[in-house]
Each structure stands twice: as structure tokens, then as C-alpha cells.
Amino acid sequence: MTRPNHFLCSGFVFSQWLGGVALLLMAVACGQVDFTAPAGSVLQIFVKPEWVPANGGTATVTVLGFRSTGAPLPDDTLITFTTTLGRIDPPSAKTKDGRVDVLFISDDRSGIAKIRAFSGPEASAETEITVGTAVVANLELRAIPSYVPAGGGTVRLIARATAQDGNPVPNVPVVFQASAGTLTSGGQPVLTNANGEAEDSLFTRQKTEVKASIGTKTATLTLPYACEQRPTPRLNFSPQTPVVGQPVFFNANGSFDPTGPIVRYEWNFGDGGSGFGPEVVHVYSTVGVFNVTLTVTNDRGCDNSTNSFLNVSSGPNQPPQAVFTVDDRLPGGNGDGVLRVGETLTFDASASFDPDGTIVAYTWDFGDTGAGFGKVTTHAYTAAGNYTVRLTVRDNLGAVATAERLITVQP
């Protein structure tokens, strides 16, 4: 369907009777009227990019127009523009397939430019574009987490721009920089959102200085490496001289970390056993000296260890047991089981034992004024007769035991 042309005409009329005939003269001047959106029409407006620098920055403003039926506005529908900052070139334009594209051009002022498009008495739409950076009065920078994780990791960087009145400034470019690591943005500008925030990500393995900039406004922060300062463990136990089978109470009282809480306590009891928590109990089943290790870890994943040696005994010292044999074994004797004068007899205390330690000394009294030392020794009698042989043993803690045996030496 072809839209009819609209005309506005003005002029004058001159009439006179001449010979019974009315002569009517009319001078008319006509001009075409611009066509605007009909009632019920809707406009949609977009601007790209959403930020431009002051003094000549440009952005494309696009308007889409629709009639009440949803169909595009007719071609040559006039759309007019206004802006609170800068200018629109051209200030008005006619639709083609329901669309108009014009140019926003900034002047030397910074701020939020409010752009309005309208056509006819009802159809209008508004949008905003940020011009320059002078509108930014404050720039804040924060990081989540506020440190470089143990072993390296990713940190979120969030910059927030606000105006003098404290309101967020959207659509301004923020440039992030870092002294180490890799930025997701690659150093390219990141526009603030409706909350005035721009976000970047940093992957780094070390202490890093971070900077965010909007024009001449800057904000900096330091991301310390999580494990620059490790937690300090303290290992305590009671009793100090436990015995086998006795519960030993361990605690990490006094452990501390000035940078944050300790979240993990790990124990190695030195006998294959382990435990977790700031307070634990362990029972040793054997005698020995055990290297106990405590490892503490803070909320950043940084750990540190300490150790202490624990001497576990069997309790009150039990005396050794003295046991021995006497025989005429070869090569000193003839091996017939009869002890005779002149034979070199063997005295053997190998069967002696200490239930909770070790035997450290063996002393022999052969009953004929002769004496000997050692676990196994020999002696020859010079006269026949009955002799009382005495063995004395001493353990590693000084306890002694004796055993006696009456032997007969044949001629």
C-alpha cells in the first residue's frame, strides 16, 4: 500500500464579474509536510559503544520504530533527536524499513548524555551514553581472594567507579595492570556495568601489585603470596614419660597464624599411627623412642610442621631372669655328658632374658675360687668334687638376678 502525500497550501482568491461571467482567480502555494509516527507507535533506541571520550568521541545511535500492529514504521517517517551533552548528527532523520541510524558526537564536557528520540505526539524513547572520564570522582579496587593462593591461582579483580554524589558510573573503560601473572583482559579496557563495576581475572603464582585506571583516576592494591608467612605449630603432650599401654594426650595449644585461622591439625605419632584435630589421644603398644610430628595448615592452604621425641617405657623396671647350662661339649670336653677334672667345660647363659630391656653383664662364680664373664664362657676344674656355680646378670637399668647350680666333677 502506498502512503498518500500530505500537503499544506496557502494563497489568495480574486473574483470579478465580467460580462456576466464570474472570473475567479486563485493564487496557491503548496509545500510537502514531514510524516511522523501514527498514534500507538513504539520506538526503541540503542547506542553503541556505551562510552566515548570527550571532544569528538562518536557513537552510533539506532532507532527502531513499530506501528501498533507490530509492523515497522513506514519509510520516510521523521525521527527527531535531542541530547543533554554533545550533539546528534543529523538531528533528525527519516526511517528506512523502520530504522534510523544517526551519530552522537561528544563535545568538551564529560558526564552522562541523555539521548531522546521522538516522532509525533506519542512515540519516544531514551537512552544514555557516558562521555569522558571526568565524571568519575572515586575509583575503588578490591580482590577476591585478597591474596595469591598457595601454589598460585586465580584472583578476581573488581574496580568500582562512582560520581561525586556516590552514584555508580556505568559504561566507562577500566584498564587493569599487574606486575606479575596473566590478566584475562590482556590489558584491554573493560567497561563498567550498571553498578559501576568492571571485573577482570588474574592468574599469578607470586606476590603481585595490581592497578586499575580510568583516565587519570587510579586505584592500586598488593596481593601478598598466601605462604609468605606460614603458621607456627606448637606440640605438647602429657605425661612426659609414658609407659606402654598408657594414654598420651597431645594438643596443639599455642599454635598460631597472624594472617588467618588454622583450619587443619595433622599428627604423626611415629609408630605408624596418625590423628587429626587440635587435641588427640594415642596409646603406644611398644617400648621405644618415637618421633612425633604435628603439621598445621591455615585457611590459605599454607602449612608448617614441628616435631618432638617421645620416650615410651614399659613402666617400673622388671629384673632380668638368669638361666644357664653346663656341659662338656666339644672341643673342650669329650661330649659324653660326664664332667671330669681337666676338661674344659662350657658355661652358657644364652637362655637368660630381660622382659623389659636388655642384659648388659654376665658374671660367673665357678665355686672353686675361679670366676668368668660373658654370656658363654669356659672353665676347667683341677680337682674332683661338688661345686656350686653361680651366674649373676644385670640389665640396662641396673637390676640384677642370680641363678645357682650344683655340679659334680668326676676324677
Q: Is the pTM of this model over 0.85?
A: no
Residue that is last in its domain, among 173, 191, 223: 223
Q: What is the β-pairing status of strands 279-283 and 247-251?
A: antiparallel
286 and 336 belong to one structural domain: no
In a domain, 276, yes or no: yes
Residue 389: which domain range?
Answer: 325-409
State pLDDT tens for residues 156-211. 999 999 988 898 988 889 999 999 999 999 999 999 998 999 999 999 999 999 99
**Residue 36 domain-assigned (yes or no):** no
**219/162 same-domain check:** yes
> Is the same domain home to 152 and 212?
yes
Write down which residue in 194, 223, 252 finishes a domain.
223
Q: Report how far residue 371's alpha carbon sits from residue 254's, in angstroms, rounded to the nearest whole number.
A: 59
> Please, is 15 exposed, middle or buried when counting C-beta atoms within 10 Å of its C-beta (0-12, 13-18, 19+)?
exposed
Cα separation, 198 vs 228, whole angstroms: 29
On whether both 347 and 395 belong to a single domain, the answer is: yes
How many Å is the maximal CA-CA distance in the chain? Answer: 199
**Domain count within the chain:** 3
CATH of the domain at 152: 2.60.40.10
Evaluate whether residue 7 is within a structural domain: no
Do 243 and 301 lie in a common domain?
A: yes
Q: How does pLDDT run across 287-296, given as a tens digit for each residue?
A: 999 999 999 9
CA gap 180, 103 in Å, rounded: 41
pLDDT the model gives residue 20: 42
Q: What is the pLDDT of residue 355?
A: 86
Q: Say yes or no: 350 and 308 in one domain.
A: no
pLDDT tens track for 64-108: 999 999 999 999 999 999 999 999 999 999 999 999 999 999 998
Neighbours of 94 (CB within 10 A): 16
Average pLDDT value for residue range 333-342 = 90
User: What is the spatial distance between Cα 325 and Cα 265, in angstroms, rounded to a whole number?
Assistant: 56
Give the three-class secondary structure for 195.
coil
Is there a domain that residue 152 lies in?
Answer: yes
| Residue 31 resides in a domain | no
Find the mean pLDDT for residues 44-56.
91
Band the pLDDT of 112: cuts 50, 70, 90: confident
Q: Which of 223, 250, 275 is a domain's end point? A: 223
The answer to whether 77 and 26 are in contact (CB under 8 A) is no
Strand partners for 5? none
- Asked if residue 372 belongs to a domain, the reply is yes
Residue 350 CB: number of other CB atoms within 10 A?
Answer: 11
Q: What is the pLDDT of residue 32?
A: 56
Whether 345 maps to a domain, the answer reads yes
CA 242, distance to chain mean position in Å, is 41
Which residue, 246, 232, 231, is CA-closest to 310?
Answer: 246
As to burial, measured by CB atoms within 10 angstroms (0-12 exposed, 13-18 middle, 19+ buried), residue 51 is buried
Let me know if residue 246 belongs to a domain: yes
Same domain, 181 and 210: yes
Question: Do residue 308 and residue 263 come from a single domain?
Answer: yes
Q: Measured between alpha carbons, how far is residue 97 from residues 36, 67, 88 in Å?
A: 14, 12, 21
Question: CA 132, 134, 140 angle in degrees (round to 5)?
Answer: 110
pLDDT computed for residue 33 by the predictor: 65
Taking CA atoms, 119 is separated from 65, 75, 104, 125, in Å, by 9, 13, 18, 10
Q: Do 146 and 191 belong together in one domain?
A: yes
